[in-house]
Amino acid sequence: QSYVGLGVGGSYTDVDWADKKYGFSTSAFAGLEYAFSKNFALTAQVRWLGTVVDNDTSGACALPSDGSSCIIKFDTDWMNQFQSNVGFSFRF
């Protein structure tokens, strides 16, 4: 069995680098389910989540293991996240 879906809503982002904490978000996902029996199935899903963020910032980090440092810069109005899941479902 396969499925697809779309979502629309709002997101709360609690990070220092975003100017606004709340923003519009949307998502799209697709998945498969293979039933071994009436109660047990293997599931897999991929998902994309996009959130409106208004930021123009940079940050510095220090990696404690080897003393390396980095500069991270963001100048965007849209943040993308991707996720994939594989698992089992048990119905009772």
Question: Would you give per-residue pLDDT tens digits along the chain (92 residues)?
Answer: 999 999 999 888 777 766 677 878 899 999 999 999 999 999 999 999 998 776 555 566 666 666 666 666 666 677 889 999 999 999 99
What is the reported pLDDT for 6? 96
What is the reported pLDDT for 44? 98
What is the reported pLDDT for 27? 95
**Whole-number Å distance between alpha carbons of 26 and 82:** 12
pTM confidence score: 0.60
What is the reported pLDDT for 61? 64
| Phi, psi (deg, nearest 5) at residue 65 | -70, -40
Other CB atoms within a 10 A radius of the CB of residue 18 amount to: 19
